[in-house]
Structure 1
Amino acid sequence: MSGVTELSYVVYEVSDLADWERFGVELLGMQYGGKTTRGFTLRTDDKAHRWVIEEGAEDDLVASGYSVASAAELDALAGKLRADGVAVTEGDAALAAERKVDRIVITTDPMGNRIELVTGFADAGTPFESERLLGGFVTGTGGAGHQVLLSGGVGREDYLHFYNDLLGFRTSDIIVEEVAPGVFADLIFLHCNPRHHSVALGDMPFPKRNHHFMVEVSDIRDVGLAWDRCLAAHQPFHMTLGMHPNDMMFSFYVETPSGFNVEYGWGGLLIDDATWEVKTLDQLNSWGHLPAGPVAEMLAAGAANSKIGH
């Protein structure tokens, strides 16, 4: 099936560049890519960048870059979008150079998120290096990672038409869980390569367009080390260590300086489309992934009840 092949990069507009550099490099173990006219880039592999950090007031996702296999397929995909009534514009040479791609076509999903369809996403001139990681980040054919976007009242039929029917994603599975009395998280997970999902969309209580971006590491010890670094830096945790029942990711969620989250994980499931069966699950987490506040209270209560040192 033709369409996008990976989530190649994301662009965030942030209000505090210095805090974001500290967060990405010192806490997450990314590599500083280079200074740009509006900010800087972060690397997680041998690509020129995976995250583009731009200064501004949004403190949220402002663009998602998806790769397409060839110029001919990009033309076909752009034509398919236009035929469906979706506005598409060709990016200029300056934007292509900034994004480090051969060509860029811009459109918008039904929630208003900017989508950049690209070919020829460039490698960096030097190998990836991190002073924090024992292993590396898992990218390759799976792309940069995955992101979870809020539907903002747009119907599932509308955004699935865009992502599945037009961009060529396939459904992985669905999770519907009552997270509070009468409050539901209802998410559908989509893939465009063997990574369990490159994007998930749906309704859940959260103030941003972007709930989180997931980065995966190849060495489980790096999850623990990143947890320790974030803990020592007093970086807020959205959810503690845990595991999801659908992609089997062992991870924690840490809050970025912009108020959305990064899921930092290991061991994500890969999909074989020839044998995969779509299922609907009723829980977001197999274990763990608890809110930090209640966990802190439980730890404090346990410390108060401890017989050691009393």
Structure 2
Amino acid sequence: MASVTQLGYVGIGASNVEEWEHFATDVLGLQSNGIDDEGNLSLRMDEYSHRFIIKPNGKDDVEFVGWQVTDEPALREMAEQLREAGIEVTDGTDDDNKSRRVEGMIKFEDPEGTPTEIFYGPPISYDKPFNSPRAVGFVTSEQGLGHVVLHVENLDRTVKFYRDVLGMKISDFIRNLAFFHCNPRHHSLALIEKKAPKKLNHFMLQTQTMNDVGTTYDMVLDQEMPLTRGLGRHTNDHMTSFYMKTPSGFDVEFGWGARTVDDATWQVQRHEKGSIWGHRAPAAVGVK
């Protein structure tokens, strides 16, 4: 059975691409590749040529999620698994591959209607090293971009899809959330059963040092940016992080220090609380 290996990239539809470029570079520390002729902004955080694509369509929600596989045979096997599960799959066109800068890809929707892409052959730019405007380093490599958390209406159905069709493994549960891994990162995907106006609850970026989280947190407080949850440590992945609003209205989690998964010894757990300490609402941490 073929399995996805990492969260490769995320596409976001936005009302204000210029505001996203400012937020991504000056606050998050991502590197901008600039805005192309079609108005799309691409962003780097490591040796990959891009990890985010921001499209100027006013959607202010996830536009697509891109999962990586090892090679073309794995991509073809994944396409067959999807079709056997009753999912309509289309091959990426030459224009699609050029747009994503990959060797090959397939496209489909998950059971909740989230546009999803699986690809192989991402563009790597070792000759042009990632250069953060804020000198922030991120934990990526085999662990991928970070994670995304999606709202779903039917948790059981969607869990079965990501586990049994895309080959992800369940890490643990917290109340009405299910967490999945596909590499040593504790979770690259989480699903929360909740009706919400947006599909995307948040995406997460993991820094290489706690100082990167602390200095960013201070900047958010000093500049009175929209903070969603203050500093805290999660029960399941042990990440120390905080949450803030993006220009599109969903959250970004900015964190450090998550534990990893070793499938040889890992056992699925259930937690009733999301945080060991902290992650309090803005009023509780004295934010105006």
Q: Residue 205 of structure 1: CA displacement?
A: 6.7
Q: Does 1:10 align with 2:10?
A: yes
Query: Residue 227 of structure 1 aligns to a residue in which SS?
Result: helix
**How far does the alpha carbon of each residue in 1:224-259 deviate from its partner, in whole angstroms, 9 at most, with x for none?**
111122223322011000010100000000100110
Q: Does 1:250 align with 2:240?
A: yes
Q: Which amino acid in the other structure matches residue 147 of structure 2?
A: H
Q: Does 1:120 align with 2:130?
A: no
Which among 245, 254, 257 is matched to residue 264 of structure 1?
Answer: 254
Q: Which amino acid in the other structure matches residue 63 of structure 2?
A: V
**How far does the alpha carbon of each residue in 1:122-154 deviate from its partner, in whole angstroms, 9 at most, with x for none?**
113510011312x51000000000011001x22
Specify the alignment match of 1:274 in structure 2.
Answer: 264
CA contact (8 A) 2:11 2:65 kept: yes
Cα distance between partner residues in 2 of 1:233 and 1:105: 42
Specify the alignment match of 1:27 in structure 2.
Answer: 27
Specify the alignment match of 2:165 in structure 1.
Answer: 166
Q: Which amino acid in the other structure matches residue 243 of structure 2?
A: Y
**How far does the alpha carbon of each residue in 1:196-242 deviate from its partner, in whole angstroms, 9 at most, with x for none?**
00000022475321111000000110001111222233220110000
Specify the alignment match of 2:99 in structure 1.
Answer: 98
Q: Which amino acid in the other structure matches residue 102 of structure 2?
A: V
Specify the alignment match of 2:187 in structure 1.
Answer: 197
> How many residues are matched?
286
Structure 2 matches for 1:32-71, cutoff 5 A?
32-36=32-36, 37-71=38-72
Q: Which amino acid in the other structure matches residue 256 of structure 1?
A: T
Specify the alignment match of 2:284 in structure 1.
Answer: 294
The verdict on how the C-alpha distance between 1:227 and 1:267 changes in structure 2, with shifts beyond 3 A counting, is: same
Cα distance between partner residues in 1 of 2:88 and 2:194: 28
CA contact (8 A) 2:204 2:252 kept: yes
Specify the alignment match of 1:131 in structure 2.
Answer: 133
CA contact (8 A) 2:68 2:118 kept: yes
Query: Residue 4 of structure 1 aligns to a residue in which SS?
Result: coil
Query: Residue 275 of structure 2 aligns to a residue in which SS?
Result: coil
Specify the alignment match of 1:147 in structure 2.
Answer: 148
Query: Residue 286 of structure 1 aligns to a residue in which SS?
Result: strand
Cα distance between partner residues in 1 of 2:193 and 2:286: 27
Cα distance between partner residues in 1 of 2:122 and 2:269: 34
Cα distance between partner residues in 2 of 1:239 and 1:195: 22
CA contact (8 A) 2:16 2:58 kept: no
Q: Normalized against structure 1, the TM-score is what?
A: 0.89
RMSD: 1.4
Query: Residue 225 of structure 1 aligns to a residue in which SS?
Result: helix
Q: Residue 193 of structure 1: CA displacement?
A: 0.4
Specify the alignment match of 1:304 in structure 2.
Answer: none
Higher Rg: 1
CA contact (8 A) 2:181 2:187 kept: yes
CA contact (8 A) 2:159 2:178 kept: no
| Structure 1 portions without partners, runs of 5+ | 177-185, 301-310
Specify the alignment match of 1:79 in structure 2.
Answer: 80
Cα distance between partner residues in 2 of 1:257 and 1:293: 21
Cα distance between partner residues in 1 of 2:222 and 2:43: 22
The verdict on how the C-alpha distance between 1:274 and 1:286 changes in structure 2, with shifts beyond 3 A counting, is: same
| Deviation >6 Å, runs of 4+ | none
Q: Normalized against structure 2, the TM-score is what?
A: 0.96
| Structure 2 portions without partners, runs of 5+ | none
Query: Residue 252 of structure 1 aligns to a residue in which SS?
Result: strand
